[in-house]
Amino acid sequence: MAKVAIAGASGFVGKNLISSLKANHAIRALGRSKPSVSDPSVEWKATELFSASSTIEALKGVEVAIYLVHSMMPSSKLFQGNFHDTDLLLADNFANACKENGVRQIIYLGGLVPEGYISPHLQSRKEVESVLQSSGVPVTALRAGMIVGPGGSSFEILRSLVRKLPLMVLPKWTQSDTQAIFIDDVVSAISESIQNPQFLNKTIDVVNGESLTYEQILKKTATVLNLKRLMFPVPIASTGFSKLWVQIFGNSTYELVSPLIDSLLCDLPQLQSPPEIASLIRYPKFEAMIEETLKRDIGAPPKRPKRKMTHQDSVRSIQRLPAVSQNCHWIAMEYMRWLPTFFPAILKVNTVSETQRIEIALTFFRRPLLSLQYVRGALAESRDKFHIVGGLLTKTSTTGWLEFRQVDHKKYTLAAIHEFIPRLPWMIYLWTQAPLHRFVMRAFGRHLKLASEKGKQI
């Protein structure tokens, strides 16, 4: 019996996977909090994937780690950044935690790679796959298209659209090639991958061999639901209107809908089931997936739970910076050197070498705006971390940290602030400090590229 950890355990795939695996494996489900109703046979571990140390602790004693996380929902009251940079950071924490704990296998459920144009959403899935592989731990990368099943967001959006819209306009993206797979077949592929030598260090497309377009999906859904719907194509390629009507009539949020709709412009490869999983596919036709979903349907799906926030007034900011050959400590120290030059005669940065504390202050005021304490912790080689321990701009001295990190062997550079609670009233913060921080980090990114090219040293 293998010890299997599942990150993303509370999601659609995670819940189905736990039901299938718990009889034959010891399951540790990772989430921000334990669900109100949980299975006593499953170990739930409170885990903050934004924290490297929390992720390392969560994977102790684990043999197989399954990664189902996609960060398209905000994790703080204010989030500055985008989901693909967030995905990079979370995947880096997970990959390093697996390496630190001697995990024997990582299984990642990502997305099919399209032919030609690739959307930011699918590009992010591909980047995460690369980050996990950079850990050196054997990775099984399973790529899937639309996953259909009871409780899944894809089916619920489809059903809501077809039921509520007797007349449907079909933009150009409805002619894009796509792939659909039933949840049971996805779960079977993941289950078959666990500790299976034939799946180690492989990338496998989890497909059933059926060729589909989004127009065909809408028509087949209407047929199975016994609804007559008028559908007519229009020569519009823009996704803006589609995002609006899917958000309104599909009962979903903009954060979830927007990147998914952008991905509809991609043509997914029309593939046959690979030999490793061909015998596992039980639902080769889309109509059969919809019929089985309706058969198991138990009524209206529960509302999507809001992501729990550690602090209700917290700020998270993640920005991608230019990749540089210098190490992460050089990047952090370059930022501290550059900051007062960007605000000459306004800002000063004082470093106390004995305590490794850095104070950022106004030149004409003694009390610091921020006090940062350097911390050498998890991921020390690829990250410089500073706890926010005081200053006029922070409301607390025990929450929040600033970090600079390099991901996938310096392929990516990220700067991030986590769980920062501003002292300024919220609306004033939104209109002053928040946009100023974003402006400063973008300017530093430009400086970093130039400084790296000039070969500056510490």
CATH numbers and ranges of domains, the chain: 3-149+175-209+270-296 (3.40.50.720), 315-453 (3.30.530.20)
pLDDT of residue 100: 95
Determine the distance from the C-alpha atom of residue 38 to the mean position of all C-alpha atoms in its chain, rounded to a whole number: 24
Question: Is the dihedral angle over the CA atoms 450, 453, 457, 458 positive or is it negative?
Answer: positive
* Per-residue model confidence as pLDDT tens digits over 313-342: 789 999 999 999 999 999 999 999 999 999
Return the closest-CA partner of residue 393 out of 432, 352, 354, 335: 432
* Per-residue model confidence as pLDDT tens digits over 138-157: 999 999 999 999 988 878 88
* Per-residue model confidence as pLDDT tens digits over 429-455: 999 999 999 999 999 999 999 988 876
pLDDT above 70 for 226: yes
pLDDT of residue 246: 67
- Indicate the DSSP class of residue 190: H
pLDDT > 70 in the chain, percent? 88
d(CA 271, CA 130): 22
d(CA 46, CA 26): 17
Determine the distance from the C-alpha atom of residue 203 to the mean position of all C-alpha atoms in its chain, rounded to a whole number: 19
Return the closest-CA partner of residue 12 out of 235, 245, 301: 301
- Measured in degrees and rounded to the nearest 5, phi and psi for residue 7 equal -90, 125
Q: Taking residues 289-296, report their average pLDDT.
A: 93
Question: Is the dihedral angle over the CA atoms 310, 312, 314, 319 positive or is it negative?
Answer: positive
* Per-residue model confidence as pLDDT tens digits over 82-130: 888 999 999 999 999 999 999 999 999 999 998 888 888 899 999 999 9
pLDDT of residue 115: 80
> Checking DSSP bridges between strand 64-67 and strand 78-80, what pairing results, if any?
unpaired
Query: SS3 of 186, please?
Result: helix
